[in-house]
Amino acid sequence: MSSILVTGGAGFIGANFVLDWLRRTDESVVNLDKLTYAGNRDNLAQADERRHVFVHGDIADAALVSSLLAQHRPRAIVNFAAESHVDRSIHGPSEFIDTNVVGTFRLLEAVRGWLGQGAAAQQASFRFVHVSTDEVYGSLQPGEPAFTETHPYDPNSPYAASKAASDHLVRAWHHTYGLPVLTTNCSNNYGPLHFPEKLIPLTIVNALSGKPLPVYGDGLQVRDWLYVTDHCSAIRRVLEAGRVGETYNVGGWNEKANIEVVRSICALLDALRPRSDGRSYAEQIAFVQDRPGHDRRYAIDARKIERELGWKPAESFESGLRKTVQWYLDNPEWVRRVQTGAYREWIARHYQQPPAEAAAAAA
């Protein structure tokens, strides 16, 4: 049976991708994940274990990756593994360099070594899909055209810089060594299984537990939102029909100011799970200190993938956000289990809760 190797498949997008892949194809998935704070075996509880091989390990472990390639002979790799949270990259960039830069380098080298030993036919059909972000392009002014694939790289956060570096490595391994790579640069995702350190799940989880809803600065920063399963369908399409060596920007034409996103979540919760005092969740909104170097606006021009590969998102922002809020309402146990001591420590440190409040949260 043919298989693909997915890295980082216990995280938010990777797990959604693996679950979708198992539902929609009859191929196996080898899933290599380090299980950092963001990786969670619970995310894969619905995976068909007959076609899903989970391997706990690091993409930077070249010997492990080489042995997995030799053993499973995957026809493709989809590389999701990364440190992914901008705020964490500001507090501590080191792991972002280790995984996003050095890890990607080691993974590319292991793949190069393996392909070098293989048959020409295997080399011709093999694909390496590198999953990246729109944040590598930097920040747009209001009214500037959205990012196309030829927009210059201009990363501003340690996270964005580390992803930009990984994109450059992937590109160079294609141009120099002929590795059959494709890169996707996607806008902000949201949906089920999203770790509640990012804006949308944090807002839902905090709202339901009566906590403040932190909005950085003036809340007018703009992000371009895509429902996670639409990102997964774009990656599948790129893997299936994308041109080797090309980059595809992925987005749903859904630019929203952060405050608008938070207000929309509050309105959905007001309807679906009204507060016991009858007041709106919007009363919990709290403007807090801005993120250093905060990018003002991201926007993706998705015309290339639409035109060349016929990809289109299935969800609007309204339908996707409703599904997302409903998923968090339906899965309190998942939320409870990811809110470990390490999660609470991060929230307390990052939002500088007074010690008494942090202790209460950890209790």
For the annotated catalytic residues, the residue numbers are 134-135, 159
Piece in contact with ligand TYD (CB under 6 A), picked from 97-105, 114-122, 214-222, 322-330: 214-222
Q: Token pair for residue 359?
A: 């202790």
Contact code string over 128-167 relative to ligand NAD, x by CB under 6 A? ---xxx-----------------------------x----
99 binds ligand NAD (CB under 6 A): yes
Choose the contact partner of 216 out of ligand TYD, ligand NAD, none; CB within 5 to 8 A by kind: ligand TYD
Q: 210-219 burial, b for 16+ CB within 10 Å, e for fewer?
A: ebebbbbeeb
86 binds ligand TYD (CB under 6 A): yes
**Beta-strand runs (E) in 64-211:** 76-79, 127-133, 181-186, 188-190
At 61, the amino acid letter reads: D
Q: Token pair for residue 134?
A: 């729109």
* Rounded Cα distance, 181 and 213, in Å: 40
Closer residue to ligand NAD, CB minimum distance, 279 or 336: 336
Name 139's Cβ contacts closer than 8 Å, sequence gap at least 6: 154, 156, 295, 296, 297, 298
- In whole angstroms, the minimum distance from the beta carbon of 56 to ligand NAD comes to 9
Q: Could you give the 3-state DSSP secondary structure of residue 295?
A: coil
- In whole angstroms, the minimum distance from the beta carbon of 356 to ligand NAD comes to 30
Choose the contact partner of 163 out of ligand TYD, ligand NAD, none; CB within 5 to 8 A by kind: ligand NAD
Which 106-125 positions form the footprint of ligand NAD (CB under 6 A)? none
36 binds ligand NAD (CB under 6 A): yes
Torsion of CA 272, 277, 282, 288, to 10 degrees: -130
Number of residues that bind ligand TYD (CB under 6 A): 12
Give phi and psi for 235, each to the nearest 5: -65, -40
Number of residues that bind ligand NAD (CB under 6 A): 31
User: What is Dmax (Cα atoms) for the chain?
Assistant: 68
- In whole angstroms, the minimum distance from the beta carbon of 178 to ligand NAD comes to 24
Which 218-237 positions form the footprint of ligand TYD (CB under 6 A)? 221, 223
Piece in contact with ligand NAD (CB under 6 A), picked from 52-60, 62-70, 169-177, 319-327: 52-60
216 binds ligand TYD (CB under 6 A): yes
Piece in contact with ligand TYD (CB under 6 A), picked from 45-53, 89-97, 209-217, 277-285: 209-217
How many angstroms from the chain centroid is the CA of residue 119?
33
- In whole angstroms, the minimum distance from the beta carbon of 198 to ligand TYD comes to 3
CB neighbours of residue 164 within 10 Å:
23
202 binds ligand TYD (CB under 6 A): yes
266 binds ligand TYD (CB under 6 A): no
Closest CA to 247 of 191, 166, 181, 291: 181
Choose the contact partner of 223 out of ligand TYD, ligand NAD, none; CB within 5 to 8 A by kind: ligand TYD
Name 177's Cβ contacts closer than 8 Å, sequence gap at least 6: 112
Choose the contact partner of 86 out of ligand NAD, ligand TYD, none; CB within 5 to 8 A by kind: ligand TYD
Q: Is 186 exposed, middle or buried (0-12, 13-18, 19+ CB in 10 A)?
A: buried
Interstrand relation of 222-227 and 127-133 (parallel, antiparallel or unpaired):
unpaired
Torsion of CA 49, 51, 54, 60, to 10 degrees: -170
Please answer whether residues 35 and 10 qualify as being in contact, where contact means their C-beta atoms are separated by less than 8 angstroms: yes
Name 247's Cβ contacts closer than 8 Å, sequence gap at least 6: 149, 167, 182, 183, 184, 185
Contact code string over 161-200 relative to ligand NAD, x by CB under 6 A? --x----------------------x-xx-----x-----
* Rounded Cα distance, 166 and 4, in Å: 21
Closer residue to ligand TYD, CB minimum distance, 77 or 140: 140
Residues of this chain that interact with ligand TYD (CB under 6 A) are 86, 188, 198-199, 202, 214-216, 221, 223, 258, 291
Q: Which residues bind ligand NAD (CB under 6 A)?
A: 7-8, 10-14, 32-36, 38-39, 58-60, 80-82, 84, 99, 103, 131-133, 163, 186, 188-189, 195
